[in-house]
Amino acid sequence: MSGRGLVPGPGGEITRRSRGLAARGLDLAERLGDDRSQPAALPHESAFRAAALSADGRWLAAARSGSSRARGVLLVALDGSEAVAEGLTDAWVRSVRFLGAGTEIVAATQDGEVVQLRLDGERLGEVARRRCPSGAADPPRAVSAAPDGGFVAVLLSTATVVGLPWPDGPSWTFDLGEERTNGSNPRLACAFEPAPVGKLAVVGDRVLMFDRTGSGGRLASLPTDFAAGPTALCWSGSELLAVEGSELVRFPLLGGRPETRTLVAGDGGGIGRAAISPSGTIVALDLTTRAAIEVYDPSGRLLARRPAGARGVEALAVGDDGLLAVAQGDGWLTVWAPHRVDEPLLRMRDRAPTPGSAIASG
Amino acid sequence: MAGQDTAADAPEDRELRDKERELDALEDDFAGVRERIATLTALLAHFEARYHVEVGVLFSELDGLEARLARQAYEASAREEHAAAWREAEERARESAEAGGEAPAPDAWEPPKPEGKALFREAAKRLHPDLHEDAETKQRATVAMAAANEAYRLGDLDELRRILRGWDQSPEAVAGDDTAARLVRVIRHIAQLRERIAEARVELEALEASELNQMRERAEADPELLARLRADLEAGLDAAQQRLAGTGARR
């Protein structure tokens, strides 16, 4: 279990100098075991930091992050039963995605591992596990999986991309810093997505295309005029869609100029998280100053507006039919069906982590 | 900041108002994230001092004893593997002593109150050096923001108000230009601010994920945790001291 290094500012100085002793305290606490008589699910303990919807819209995966006791992935059925299966991991899950169709998940953990989990009877069991080359020293920021399930890509904290043919095969890495054009920001914001046709696209301040197999050779590099980097990315036919702030940008990868459309009119205010549906037909934006999430089609037509709650939205996921999942830092998960405006399809708060727990109702 | 639209407004005036509203909202976002970073930093600073006193010193003491035991084992056997273990134990003892030496002494501290958080957000919106382009203003902002951080950490709201008043009364706080120039400036500011917000979110996530914060959250959820760690380390210290005594070593 290990936290990130290279945090700037006074907070970074504190966490740097205390890292060794704090890690030893955590290890000792693990050995001594948790005191289960203590309340185990304080709100801040069970924050959600990542979420994903399955391609068929029947499942929601949500990754816990908070204290070391609250870690792992919840798989929630969206068939009305609200059944929950729980999979525990050794370290916090930073990002989660479905691996192909069905109920298999890949989770990137704080200690630099990618774990494949599968719904097995009443719980999520581990199927495969791979370690990123730099392990806990450079923890993952995001994970993505190809639709065919044969490839997983990980974006590390230092803006390095790791390609992992799944579940085995030689991995490759690429330092995006070499492609940086603004020069000054060591933590490049970027999004990335594998294509069904054997390529991986990474968009930061350039659009990069990689051969996802073999050595991960670079295939193309196109300039962008992003200021802060995209917050969501998706393939749509021969186009790559990227969201930056309130703008949706289409990159025609077979040639031509990118096309930009502003989705939020006028005083949209601050934009936080964003999500694009698997086929690029729906875009969801977290309007932080309005405490709302707005759902658009790619032409900019507003399809729905949902309340976001008082606490910050940590993760968004949206389906091609407009199904919208929202994970919040205070442990609430909310799923909105596209055509229901009165109340959400599902609203639940995380419970105390219970190792080996069965699928439970509610 | 932005007024009502009127039919007589030129298009660039309306565009400028829209952009200024967007900038206002982004500044609120930025200030909110900076306030969360400052609050967590203050929490971590306070917890670090407490953790060092209650647990860190025992780790350090135990490491010192283990290093002495490792040295004895090497001196008794002269075997290379014992030499390696000794070097490793010495290094560990040095590291934990250094970490303890850097930790500040615990001080009286209370979590920030809502009024303090609001004041700090205001300070972050106006003073943060990332929000200024001119080198001289950036330099002044760096100094003022450092002072605001310290005042916030100490819960000194009067000092925060004084810093804000001083900034607002400075000549640089007055700006005036034609609409076109202001529009360009606001657009550039918006782009810059989006980048700073993305960076600040990464910084906040890294602080939240740090080992010290994990330890802090566990200790907050389980008030007896540090006492249990302390008891276990004290037992380890007793055992190490007995082993030293058994070999006739002097403490």
pLDDT at A44: 37
How close B23 comes to chain A (CA, Å)? Answer: 8
Question: Is the model more confident about B46 or about A7?
Answer: B46
Closest-CA distance, A79 to chain B, in angstroms, reads 33
Bridge partners of residue A223, in order along the sequence: A206
Measure Cα distances from A275 to A148, A256, A268, A283, A323 in Å.
Answer: 21, 25, 17, 6, 12
Q: What is the mean pLDDT of residues A197-203?
A: 76
pLDDT at A329: 66
Task: For Cα atoms A218, A215, A150, give the angle at the middle one, nearest 5 degrees.
Answer: 100
Residue A285: the pLDDT is 92
- pLDDT-based confidence at B89, cuts 50/70/90? confident
| Calpha distance A38→B35 (Å, rounded) | 30
CA–CA gap between residue B88 and residue A103 (Å, rounded): 46
- Using CB atoms, which residue from A26, A189, A229 is nearest to B211? A26
Q: pTM of the prediction?
A: 0.57
User: Do β-strands A59-66 and A46-53 pair in parallel, antiparallel, or remain unpaired?
Assistant: antiparallel
Of the candidates B92, B93, B156, which has an alpha carbon nearest to the alpha carbon of residue B123?
B156
Q: How much is the pLDDT for B182?
A: 81
Closest residue in B to A29 (Cα–Cα) = B229
Report the residue from A10, A24, A157 with minimal CB separation from B41: A10
Q: Taking CB atoms and an 8 Å limit, are A20 and B44 in contact across chains?
A: no
The pLDDT score that the predictor gives to residue A129 is: 95
Over residues B16-24, the mean pLDDT reads: 85
The count of C-alpha atoms lying within 13 angstroms of the C-alpha of A53, restricted to the half-sphere facing its C-beta, is 29
Q: Summarize the confidence of residues A138-152 as an average pLDDT.
A: 85
**Which tens digit of pLDDT belongs to each residue from A208-220?**
777 776 667 777 7
If DSSP codes are grouped into helix, strand and coil, which group holds residue A345?
coil
Which pLDDT value is given to residue A184? 39
> Distance between CA B232 and CA B247 in Å, rounded?
23
Rounded Cα distance between A179 and A177, Å, is: 5
Are the Cβ atoms of A8 and B228 closer than 8 angstroms? no
Across A95-109, A136-150, B196-210, which has the greatest mean pLDDT?
Answer: A95-109
Q: Is the pLDDT of residue A227 over 90?
A: no
Average pLDDT over residues A283-295: 86
Q: State the nearest Cα–Cα gap between A97 and chain B, in angstroms.
A: 20
Q: Which residue of B has its CA nearest to A93?
A: B209
CA distance B149 to chain A (A): 10
pLDDT > 70: what percent of chain A? 78
**Helix, strand or coil, per DSSP, at residue A98:** strand
Could B197 and A270 be called an inter-chain contact, meaning their C-beta atoms sit closer than 8 Å?
yes
Question: Tokens 């929601």 belong to which residue?
Answer: A60
pLDDT at B100 over 80: no
| Res A61: pLDDT | 93
Instruction: Indicate the pLDDT class of residue A359, thresholds 50, 70 and 90.
Output: very low
Q: Do B96 and A9 touch (CB under 8 A)?
A: no
Task: Give the pLDDT score at A190.
Answer: 58
What pLDDT, on the 0 to 100 scale, is given for residue A314? 80
Question: Which pLDDT band holds residue A35 (cuts at 50, 70, 90)?
Answer: very low
Question: For A93-102, A190-199, A200-209, A255-264, which range has the lowest pLDDT when averaged over its residues?
Answer: A190-199
Torsional sign, CA A30, A360, A320, A270: negative
Residue B1 has pLDDT above 60, yes or no: no
Report how far residue A289's alpha carbon sits from residue A311's, in angstroms, rounded to the nearest whole number: 12
Min Cα–Cα distance to chain A from B64, Å: 14
Q: In the prediction, which pLDDT does A355 show?
A: 35
| Cβ A99 vs Cβ A65: under 8 Å | no
| Contacts for B94 with CB less than 8 Å, ≥ 6 apart | none
Integer Cα distance of A329 and A337 in angstroms: 21
Q: How high is the pLDDT of residue B172?
A: 52
Residues of B in contact with A15 (CB under 8 A): 44, 206-207, 210-213
Find the range with the poorest average confidence among A174-183, A318-327, B56-65, B114-123. Answer: A174-183
Mean pLDDT score of chain B, rounded to an integer?
79
- Mind listing the pLDDT tens digit for each residue in B49-78? 889 888 888 888 888 888 888 887 777 777
This complex has an ipTM of 0.74
Compare all CA atoms of chain A with the CA of B95 and give the residue at the minimum distance. Answer: A20
Q: Which residue of B has its CA nearest to A266?
A: B18
| Cβ–Cβ gap A9/B224 under 8 Å | no
Distances (CA, A) of B16 to A92, A155, A206, B29, B132: 44, 37, 29, 20, 19
Which of A18, A26, A272 faces B103 most closely, judged by CB atoms?
A18
